[in-house]
Amino acid sequence: MNSEVKTKSFHLIGDYLRFSSVTFAMKRVEYLKGFNGHEAELFFMYAKNTDSKLKYSLSRFKHFLFLRKKIKEQSDLGINIIHLYSLIDFILLILIVKIPQRLAICLSIYDLKINKVAEVLLRWLIKRVDHIFVSSRFVTDQFWSRLNIPPSRCTVLALPKYLERKDIGLVPIDEKQEKKKTISIGCFLAESSEIGKLARFKALVTSTLQRDDINIKLYLIKNNINQAYVPSNTSFGCIETIIANDDLDLLSLDFWLVFSGHFSCPYINDALKIGARVIAPSTHYTSELQRILKSRMLTYKANEVSSAAKLFISLIDNVISGAYTPLGLTSSSWQTERKYLLESYEKAVRRRLYLSRIS
């Protein structure tokens, strides 16, 4: 990318965000640091765990009071972008923290689910956002129709876009597939409530699939986001379970299993890269992927675990026979995302500089 604009972004996240937002933020800071003169920093806020909504709100409020000093320090160190991953965080930032006019604000949103009161408030506040990152064209349309944010200020960061624009292609993993005796499944539990869904999935598979010629292994991904509730041993259920780290390139997976339909699973991209078939709830994001990848992306109605189990069982013979040739991605989706992210960052910085000059 030929550009004189070098960005230094400050990413604000917290333990109250969904795992996908936290994972995306950490990945972006990781791939931006030191890349062609660009820099990125992460600031993590721990909200006090309490049943009282008042105490929880006060805890969040205190964090943003502290952010006044932190952002001033970062501004003196040369940051030119603040990147947020929650609409509530954005509203609190604008109302509580005094943001220098020269700092661009970027926002990552998976889905625009807001009530009428929030919509009226956001129509006024959202003007301060210089660029918005979304998961699909559907969300871009939502911002345009509900908040009058033009598509030019939104950028889709998602695998369907990269595949359609041929930034990333599909390539066979192996030229010849031999018969398999072991089926490998990868899964990441984004919330503690998904443990029950996984247990039900495993029970349905083992009760229906009573075959001695097939061995099923489940690789349960454990990282610093879900380590508090993911079991640390391999006795989790009746299917052999292996606890693994989040480097999917080290695994050989046939399937990647997703239970949550509330947000985009960042590991879908990594699973597709190594040739795994994905079984996930139907959302606007997974529907776009299914349209492009067809049989390599399978969807079921959210919360219907029995449907996910049926999809998995129906594909087993196809995999073990060697008739199915897995297709992987030609390159990492993170590298492609970095290209579009930096292009949009530079637009945001230039927009902010222009507006600060004429104000």
- pLDDT tens, N- to C-terminus, the chain (359 residues): 445 689 999 999 887 777 778 888 989 999 999 899 999 999 988 765 556 667 767 777 888 888 888 998 999 999 999 999 989 899 989 999 989 999 999 999 988 888 888 888 898 899 999 999 998 889 999 999 999 999 999 999 999 999 999 999 988 876 555 667 888 999 888 777 888 898 899 889 888 877 777 888 888 887 776 777 777 655 555 567 777 776 777 788 899 999 987 677 778 888 998 889 999 999 888 888 899 988 889 999 988 999 999 999 998 888 887 777 788 898 889 999 999 999 999 999 999 999 988 87
Distance of CA 355 to the CA centre of its chain: 31
Fold for 170-330, please state it. Answer: Rossmann fold (3.40.50)
| CB-based contacts of 265, cutoff 8 Å, min separation 6 | 20, 188, 190, 258, 280
DSSP characters over 43-71: EEE-----S-HHHHHHHHHHHHHHHHHHH
Q: Cα–Cα distance between 353 and 16 in angstroms, integer?
A: 32
Options 3.40.50.300, 3.30.360.10, 3.40.50.2000, 3.30.300.30; CATH of 8-158+334-358 = 3.40.50.2000
Q: How far apart are the first and last CA of the chain?
A: 30
Q: What count of residues does the chain have?
A: 359
Q: Do domains 8-158+334-358 and 170-330 have the same CATH topology?
A: yes
Tokens of residue 105, six digits: 């604000």
Smallest Cα–Cα separation from 247: which of 222, 265, 218?
Answer: 222
Q: Where are the domains of the chain?
A: 8-158+334-358, 170-330
Phi, psi of 141 (to 5 degrees): -65, -35
> Would strands 327-329 and 255-257 be described as parallel, antiparallel, or unpaired?
unpaired
Within a 10 A sphere around the Cβ of 115, how many other Cβ atoms? 8
